[in-house]
Structure 1
Amino acid sequence: MKERGKIFLLVLVGAFIGSDLRYLESLIFKTTNGFPLGTLVANLTGAFIMPFLIHYLQDRYNLSSKVVLTLSTGLLGSYTTFSTFTADSYRLYQSGNWVSLLIYLTITILGGFVVAILGNYWAASRAFNDYVKKEQDR
């Protein structure tokens, strides 16, 4: 099998796992008031995990580009979901639930940005702590 075919299959496996996790999360965070909490949790946790994966785990464990693609594009790409975010936003708009719509948009967009920054800081902190520990062990 050619290299591209192997990468395609790895991303496919990651997407399979990510979509199953996303569905499970939608069941766990199901609300009775129509607020899309499951999508919000998926998108915020994905925004937090992605920079940590890229900036810490990849360097710390020397992950190959195949593993990073599997986890980022495959798993996290199917776990987080812009299309569901858009559909949920439109549903809140159509139902006239303006307060929930504003809260959802604000938390998703600004919250996603903030947790991505936090994920970067967490990655940098872990990398620094690993460096200090390595130096102390010398």
Structure 2
Amino acid sequence: MTALGWLCVAAGGMLGAVIRYWITSKLNRKGGFPAGTFAVNMTGAFLAGIFSGLAAGSPAHAFIVYGILGALTTFSTWNSEILILWRDGRRAAAVFYALSTLVLGIVFYMVSFIYVSS
């Protein structure tokens, strides 16, 4: 990767992290369904599909997909929230959250990629 590519990833990562923090602070509620994390993961999967189909290999792709969307989506947070739901006895919610995020994330990515690639 070029120096410009690294700079694009770093700049996008800062922006994505701030966006994720803002959205999850507005939508997540203590003891509730982690709606903010779910929203950023689904949005990130959808947008990654679009931009992977449109701008793969460009500095814009590095900025958006690896930078913004890499920081926006939150695999480690997702795992932690599943464990918290499970530990709190909300096992159905934990399983629903885990499976829906996984399945819908793949679906959103595929649909958006196919749409922009056709």
| Same-fold status (TM-score > 0.5) | yes
Counterpart of 1:91 in structure 2 is 84
1:6-46 per-position Cα deviation (integer Å, ceiling 9, x unaligned):
33222111001000110111123123542111111111111
Q: Deviations over 1:117-136 (max 9, x none)?
A: 221232135xxxxxxxxxxx
Alpha-carbon distance change, 95 to 17 in structure 1, aligned in 2, over 3 angstroms:
same
- 1:74 partnered with 2:67: yes
Q: CA RMSD in A?
A: 1.9
**Which residue does 1:17 correspond to in 2?**
15
Deviations 1:84-116 (A, max 9, x none): 011111111111111110110121011111111
Q: Does 1:103 align with 2:103?
A: no
> For residues 42 and 105 of structure 2, what CA distance do their matches in structure 1 show?
5
Gaps of 5+ in 2: none
Give % identity.
27
If you compute each CA radius of gyration, which structure gives the higher value, 1 or 2?
A: 1
Matched residue, 1:128: none
Residues 33 and 94 from structure 1, CA distance in 2 versus in 1: closer, same or farther, beyond 3 angstroms? closer
Q: How many residues align?
A: 118
TM (norm. structure 1) is 0.77
Q: TM-score, normalised by structure 2?
A: 0.88
CA contact (8 A) 2:28 2:37 kept: no
User: Unpaired segments of 5 or more residues in structure 1?
Assistant: 126-138
